[in-house]
Amino acid sequence: MIGVVVPAHNEQDVLVECIDRIFQAARDARLVAETVELVVVADSCTDNTSVLAAQAGATVLTVQARNVGAARAAGAEHLLARGARWLAFTDADTLVSPGWLAEQLALQADAVCGTVGVEDWSPHGEHADLLRSHFEQTYFDVDAHRHVHGANLGVSAAAYRRAGGFDHLSCSEDVELVSALEACGARIAWSCRPRVTTSARRVARAPGGFADALLKAVAQRLAAAAPHLPSLGTPS
């Protein structure tokens, strides 16, 4: 069985499409009809995240951690107990490609670190073109990249256990897991083949995460180009 974990904190506006895309990837013929189970870990939600996730066909775990590392770990432990041989992780504001799961497994590694793409930069308004340019200049969407994203990560059950799983960190839990995998000798594929598209939203769910990094990048580029321009403010 293949397990997929999606941590979610108040994600009612984007979660259903995320789930639909995961189930589409689960129907890839290359998986030879292997069972795919999806767990949405609803962490400290005050909206309809849990209800919508259940209606869309996901298993819902409810936690009150307000901690993405703890949420990912809870989902992983649930799926391991269910017999998962492979764990795949993405985020609620991310849309996986139809071949996402099959491409992870086809790489025949202990773990797969994929890249992310962004199609819509409009949440950043007048700064959208600046941020798009920064991303294109500094991000390497190629094989042998060294990016780590919880939104596009896969790992075998055996390697996950050897590495000790996700630490309960409020950010960079994905980076710490990959570091632990490297330390225990796991074979890691740094690949752009498993495709996902993530959002460029301005409201960061996890300080230090992708959205937060985008906001800081805009602020830095503006400060370098024109120090007299008004600040974007502190990332949420």
> Which CATH code fits 2-118+140-195?
3.90.550.10
Predicted confidence band of residue 229 (pLDDT cuts 50, 70, 90): very low
- The phi and psi torsions of 60 (rounded to 5 degrees) equal -115, 125
Q: What is the pLDDT of residues 150-209, one digit of tens each?
A: 999 999 999 999 999 999 999 999 999 999 999 999 999 999 999 999 998 877 666 666
Please give the mean pLDDT across all residues of the chain: 90
Q: Where are the domains of the chain?
A: 2-118+140-195
Q: What is the pLDDT of residues 209-223, one digit of tens each?
A: 676 666 666 566 556
Do the beta carbons of residue 100 and residue 195 sit within 8 Å? Answer: yes
Q: Which amino acid does the sequence have at 187?
A: R
Would the pLDDT of 234 be above 50? Answer: no
pTM value > 0.85: yes
**Which of the two residues, 109 and 233, has the higher pLDDT score?**
109
Would the pLDDT of 235 be above 60? Answer: no
Specify the pairing of strand 153-156 against strand 86-89: antiparallel
